[in-house]
Amino acid sequence: MSAKILLVEDNQDISNIISINLSILDHKIDAFDDGSQAYKRLNQGYDLAILDIMLPGTDGLKLCKRLRQLQPEIPIIMLTAKSSELDIVTGLENGADDYLTKPFSVLELQARVKAHLRRAHANTQQHNQVKTVLTFNELSIDPNLFQATVSGQLIDTTAKEFELLYFLASQVKRVFTREQLLADIWGVQHQGCAHTVNSTMNRLRAKLEPDPANPIWLKTVWGIGYKFSG
């Protein structure tokens, strides 16, 4: 599956390695080493973006946020030299779908790109089909419009937040582990990254639940994972 990929990385060696190894997979790579230059090209209809966080000019987080506004469902992978949970969560909060901490394996990068493109393609096909709108009292989840409302008020969710909500709500009361949700929603296996699910769930509850500390719909099953309670 050939794709048009945006790469923004100021380290030329890393940029070359990524470009060569993704070109092997028949992808077209538009590479930039400056965030401000890349910002001007965000509307070029990319299929996937790989963004370093620390960049000259406009940083990767701002690029991510703007790209998410332009293309709500584009897969975005962040590259970071930092491994702290705060840096990772900040990237996810700005709309990233995934992240790789430097140094990373080229094979791992290729696998992540394949998984995200495959999932994006499947989502595009599914969106062309009319789906059932899920309603739970004042909560309405419309997968056709890709939006959720509470008492008629639109909830501003990211793509991954909505996917997580719809996935759980379509299987009421079924309990999923964090690892299952990582595989089903993010489409890749993360080692030791349960906080990806946790942080997304916390943000979704803050937007959706009247009292996020005592959720009505998005329940924690202690020691296991999460479920949707209709």
pLDDT digits (tens, 9 = 90+) for 173-227: 999 998 889 888 876 655 556 677 888 899 899 999 999 999 999 999 998 999 9
Residues 6+ apart with CB under 8 A from 53: 59, 60, 61, 78, 79, 80, 81, 82, 87, 91
Between residues 133 and 129, which one has the greater pLDDT? 133
Residue 200 · residue 178 · CB < 8 Å: no
Closest CA to 218 of 210, 226, 191: 226
Which CATH number does the domain 134-228 belong to among 3.40.1350.10, 3.40.640.10, 1.10.3720.10, 1.10.10.10? 1.10.10.10
Q: Which CATH architecture has domain 4-127?
A: 3-Layer(aba) Sandwich (3.40)
At 29-83, the pLDDT tens digits run 999 999 999 999 999 999 999 999 989 999 999 999 899 889 888 999 999 876 6
pTM of the model: 0.72
Which residues are paired to 221 by β-bridges? 225
3-state secondary structure of 168: helix
With beta carbons less than 8 A apart as the criterion, state whether 23 and 29 touch: yes
Domain ranges of the chain: 4-127, 134-228
